[in-house]
Amino acid sequence: MTKVRDDTPLWLFADQLGPSTHGGEHAHREVLLIEATSALRKRRYHRQKLHLVLSALRHADRDLGDRSTLIRSDTYTDALERFDRPVLVHQPTSFAAERFVNRLSEQGLVAEVLPTPTFALPRKDFEEWAGERTRFRMEEFYRDQRRRFDVLMEGANPVGNRWNYDEENRESPPKKQKTLDVPAPYKPREDDIDDEVRRDLDAMELNTVGVDGPRLFAVTPAEAKRALTRFIEHRLPSFGTYEDAMMGGDWAMSHSLLSVPLNLGVLHPLDAVHAAERAYRDGQAPLAAVEGFIRQILGWREYMWHLYWHFGESYVDENELAATTPLPDWWADLDADAVTAECLRHALLGLRDRGWNHHIQRLMVLGNHALQRGYQPRQLTEWYATAYVDGFRWVMPTNVVGMSQHADGGRLATKPYAAGGAYINRMSNHCGDCAYDPKKRLGDDACPFTAGYWQFVHRHRDRLENNMRTRRAVSSLDRLSDVDAVLEQEAQREHF
């Protein structure tokens, strides 16, 4: 490996564009940015995802001024050879990119690989925490994170003498209103760079999913700061209460919409965490809302990042439930118009039009449907990673294989997240306008989630009755008098 000089340039990937990567000890370095057309064509991405990535790169180039060199090329290797100087690079965020950087190091194009600075906990520290564990529980990791970073702590104890306020963050949506009626989220102003990106994407004629649309998410550090401030000041107080609720007329609810700037590296997770904690300490937001938000970032997001590396590259191929159904075309194409069930239609509609849903739509509508119907986990993981604007390669394996599809047999989650229409009816306002009845499992208006739930329980009854958290579902199945008819109905179902 080439000896690193003080004037060695720093090459930044498109998810490493914030001050934590190019500021501080590296603030004096020249920065190399690369747009590789082959990377855009490699997979069938959401159109708005590609817009966000290119907009982020080009805005970073403008903001860094004379420090920055942006090269547009077919491949990264071509660009690095044209640049003709060895570069520093931060450890990338996927196994494939890591292998690629290692090959570049062997070729002398990369002088040194630096640790990833865009997460709170370094990878080596997580490996020390993981030790010889074979079962992982997020709550244990989250509490250690709180202690380590002294977040929402009073000495050795959590603020309020409770670590977790989940029970207070599960309210159904308010009745007799179509939206949550909170101030709108921050929306960036598109500029000449966005116009240029849109023209260039049109000219490339890429095979994408979803529709083009206005840019909804922050892609620069300045925009991310404004988005964070607006969330903390106007939306965080109501975030916790309706964190798990869904409303057809309110796609954003009280969610922060910070996943894109976080995953682009233009917002550091600790900045978001500390801002939320200050809001609690200053009396501007209730503890349950603040704790719920901090748990998402300092707990779950960090946990998913580290388990991606810890579980290894083969984790995405785990399939303990033997789910082999290929993704249907209407699903892969985000064809919301082909769907009748209101909850599923709204989820696909939001994904088609914005490339984004909040976590309950991802887990308990889309993920729940895929779990019930046995969609192939690796295909599903790829779909989530490409169809979502915040779906970077490290994000999805543990979220989909482990959490959503229980395909790892319980290494990550203690039970499958399968639920019938009653859950969706309780946590949304979708069912009142739906052609399906969440209370019915048989008949033309039988809810595909309710019927699909019993199909799932029947298919995996041996596994479920040996799990303390799911054995009651098997007992309930055995009390149903129409199981055979439900199974036959669902085996023939072609429309949802």
Cβ neighbours of residue 295 under 8 Å, at least 6 residues apart?
A: 142, 164
Assigned CATH class of 10-114: alpha beta
Query: What is the bridge-based pairing of β-strands 153-154 and 157-158?
Result: antiparallel
Regions of the chain short of the pLDDT cut 70: 1-4
Max intra-chain CA distance, the chain: 75
pTM: 0.95
User: Which pLDDT score is estimated for 1?
Assistant: 43
Convert 26-53 to b/e letters by CB count within 10 Å (16 or more is b). Answer: beebbbbbbbbeebbeeebbbbbbbbbb
User: Which pLDDT score is estimated for 245?
Assistant: 96
Assigned CATH class of 317-492: mainly alpha
User: Which pLDDT score is estimated for 4?
Assistant: 62
d(CA 336, CA 340): 8
Q: For the domain bounded by 123-189+211-311, which CATH number is listed? A: 1.25.40.80
User: Which pLDDT score is estimated for 229?
Assistant: 98
Does 317-492 match 10-114 at the fold level?
no
Domains of the chain by residue range: 10-114, 123-189+211-311, 317-492
